[in-house]
A = this chain, B = another copy of it.
């Protein structure tokens, strides 16, 4: 929790630099070798956690704001970012108002304003990323999806909406570039899909469907090694991948 002096300072600074009523919340999905995690922050003196977020500067495009916020937390640039929903319940920021009700009246506390939050999700390889807490937080860390703590505000809803949007995206857009090594086997790619969907997939159906999208190239030589039957290696066909990102997969109407 901030002191009264800090809260006044932050409110003054925020009024000067940021657009009123608008915030950004990011659901950063991290992947590595079939594991899936999400980036969370624990505020000072709080048991519950928050998604990384921030505000939009007066003259800043919103995509740029989302990129800036993610860079501050992860050090990463040029992350795949997808706007997925705006959360606009009038009471969603009641938490901040309640938290500081004995410190500062609502009209002086910028954070107790009504905020519409624009949700972005991002997909990154969490290997090598050292998360940085913001000034309001004790820690910033990757958490397993099956070990999620309780979240503050409406961040549980934001997280779930992002996961639904990501799963839906698997049906009409490619995924995996920047998350997989340059060459990978079919079971390695299947693990990525299984992590996102939270369920096992049939090996043959997966292979048939993913090859049908036309975004993979198969290397001529199978992977070398001691295995009895060496698996084939695949890489993304970046031109087809990019087309599918903008136009959706073939097989639409």
Chain B residues closer than 8 Å to A63, beta-carbon distance: 88
**A205 → chain B closest CB, angstroms:** 9
Interface residue? A153 (CB, 8 A): no
Stretch at the interface among A19-27, A100-108, A178-186: A19-27
Chain B residues closer than 8 Å to A21, beta-carbon distance: 19-22
Asked if A114 and B252 make an inter-chain contact with CB atoms under 8 angstroms apart, the answer reads: no
Asked if A19 and B114 make an inter-chain contact with CB atoms under 8 angstroms apart, the answer reads: yes
Asked if A88 and B114 make an inter-chain contact with CB atoms under 8 angstroms apart, the answer reads: no
> When each residue 165-179 of chain A gets 1 if its CB lies under 8 Å from chain B and 0 otherwise, what string results?
001101110000000
The 8 A-B residue pairs with the shortest CB-CB distance in the complex, in nearest-first order: A62-B88, A59-B90, A171-B252, A19-B21, A20-B20, A86-B118, A197-B253, A171-B172
Interface residues of A (CB under 8 A from B): 19-22, 56, 58-63, 83, 85-86, 88-90, 114, 116, 118, 167-168, 170-172, 193, 197, 201, 209, 248, 252-253
